[in-house]
Chain A
Amino acid sequence: GESVGLHLPTLSVQEGDNSIINCAYSNSASDYFIWYKQESGKGPQFIIDIRSNMDKRQGQRVTVLLNKTVKHLSLQIAATQPGDSAVYFCAENWGETSGSRLTFGEGTQLTVNP
């Protein structure tokens, strides 16, 4: 079946370093992807999205890369700060048959050490 998964369940980085969080998906029909950040006790917060007709998109301190050949998505966070510590989820949307639902990966816990 289709799935969205993350390579690493946890990631620990030093403040100021760059962070890379990875996501693999298995459905080649996926055409829209979103990265969310979830802090403890809160709902997922939208970070950045990308459509399948793009391979890169940049935001403020974040970049999302999409490699459709190997069905891989990554989130790069530049100059990671303690406030970036959270669980990060990728989510996908595919085809007309799945409608508007998002399918989420399991999440990666990012810890930023001062």
Chain B
Amino acid sequence: NAGVMQNPRHLVRRRGQEARLRCSPMKGHSHVYWYRQLPEEGLKFMVYLQKENIIDESGMPKERFSAEFPKEGPSILRIQQVVRGDSAAYFCASSPQGRGQPQHFGDGTRLSIL
């Protein structure tokens, strides 16, 4: 089952460290989305990327957060100098095309900040 693959599944970091979250989209999908979910809440959009391009990053904090989707390899969500408030589940989704298409999700990365 070549679904959306995310790793690591769990990541523990101390305050001030960097967190790197990886996402490999489904085969044939060139659109990638990152969402964040706090406990008992819905998912909140962060960023939308296509290969080598950031299309919409309006949901991502301006500082400390960045995302990329290189020509080769997985999409990366990077959080620098993590703080306790960054603790959440981060989900990646992919779709074959953009708007108006179902997005298929991975099982997420649970980020815990000590």
Contacts and interface: CB of A to CB of B under 8 A. Distances in A.
Interface stretch (B12-20, B37-45, B65-73, B76-84): B37-45
A104 B46 CA distance: 12
Interface string A39-67: 00111111001010000000000000000
Interface in B9-64: 31, 33, 35, 40-45, 48, 55-56, 59
A102 interface: yes
Interface string A68-97: 000000000000000000000101010010
A44 B93 CA distance: 9
A9 B107 CA distance: 23
B33 A101 contact: yes
Contact of B45 (A4, A42, A46, A102): A102
B60 to A, nearest CB: 11
B39 to A, nearest CB: 11
A49 B108 contact: no
Given A41-B107, A42-B107, A99-B55, A105 B102 contact: no
Interface of A: 4, 31-32, 34, 36, 41-46, 49, 51, 89, 91, 93, 96, 99-107
Contacts of B40: 107
A104 B43 contact: yes
A54 to B, nearest CB: 13
Contacts of B102: 34, 46, 49
Contact of A31 (B35, B59, B100, B105): B100
Interface string B90-103: 01010100111111
A31 B95 CA distance: 17
Nearest to A106: B42
B42 A93 contact: no
Given A43-B4, A100-B56, A107-B42, A93 B100 contact: yes
B42 A104 contact: yes
Contacts of B55: 99-100
The 9 closest A-B pairs by CB, nearest first: A104-B42, A43-B105, A101-B45, A100-B99, A100-B98, A43-B107, A99-B56, A104-B43, A44-B105
